[in-house]
């Protein structure tokens, strides 16, 4: 006999929630704080390959503060491109690294340096692309408060894969979307 997942999650929540709420305030303050972001992202022309225009897609970011009040770590996943049969490449980046955040009156300004990888592929017989390599992003952003737990983010990065990015390319990434703060 198997237990339905919803029932199992409810039981786990009922068992652990009294423990969490019984912690003294100082212990609760030790729980890491951070934010989650999801939004629209666009790369510049020829960011990863020559003769490829700017790519549009989505980006998701998770950030956890590790040293209060301003030092944290960030994980960033983004996917760009069109449909599977398109000659335009589909590109996915996965990046991790430190982030420094300063804030006043609910407005958060941050800078990050991320390292990771990039993978691109397309179905164009004239200009086939398939491969992955090291990538990095260096950038700045601002979160503008909307509600107690939500903000709107605007971010700009220098995004590059040094071993394959054309030097004449526009190595920029623009991102905007919603932030959930916890």
pLDDT digits (tens, 9 = 90+) for 96-116: 999 999 988 889 999 999 999
**Phi/psi of residue 148, each to 5°?**
-50, -40
Examine residue 89 and state whether it is found in any structural domain, yes or no.
yes
Q: How many domains does the chain have?
A: 1
Examine residue 155 and state whether it is found in any structural domain, yes or no.
yes
**Phi/psi of residue 127, each to 5°?**
-140, 75
Q: What is the CATH number of the domain that holds 64?
A: 2.40.160.20
Closest to 155 measured CA to CA, from 15, 39, 56:
39
Chain segment 115-156, per-residue pLDDT in tens: 999 998 877 667 667 778 999 999 999 999 999 899 999 999
Residue 64 predicted with pLDDT over 90: yes
Whether the Cβ atoms of residue 133 and residue 116 lie closer than 8 Å to each other: no
Percent of the chain surpassing pLDDT 70: 75
H or E element, residue 158 = strand 150-160
Examine residue 153 and state whether it is found in any structural domain, yes or no.
yes
**Residue 126 lies in domain:** 31-181
Specify the 3-state DSSP secondary structure of 104: strand
pTM for the whole structure:
0.76
Chain segment 17-54, per-residue pLDDT in tens: 444 444 455 544 555 589 999 999 999 887 877 777 78
Examine residue 6 and state whether it is found in any structural domain, yes or no.
no
């Amino acid at each position: 006999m198997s237990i339905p997942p919803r029932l199992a999650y409810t039981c786990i929540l009922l068992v652990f929630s009294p423990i969490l709420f019984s912690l003294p305030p100082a212990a609760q303050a030790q729980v890491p704080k951070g934010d989650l972001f999801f939004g629209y992202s666009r790369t510049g022309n020829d960011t990863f390959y020559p003769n490829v225009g700017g790519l549009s897609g989505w980006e998701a970011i998770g950030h956890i503060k590790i040293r209060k009040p301003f030092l944290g770590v960030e994980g960033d996943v983004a996917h760009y491109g069109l449909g599977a049969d398109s000659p335009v490449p589909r590109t996915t980046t996965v990046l991790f690294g430190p982030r420094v955040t300063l804030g006043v009156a609910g407005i958060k300004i941050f800078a990050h340096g991320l390292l990771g990888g990039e993978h691109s592929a397309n179905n164009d017989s004239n200009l086939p692309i398939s491969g992955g390599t090291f990538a990095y992003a260096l950038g700045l952003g601002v979160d503008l408060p909307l509600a107690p737990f939500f903000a709107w983010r605007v971010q700009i990065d220098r995004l590059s894969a040094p071993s394959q990015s054309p030097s004449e390319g526009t190595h920029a990434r623009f991102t905007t979307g919603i932030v959930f703060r916890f």
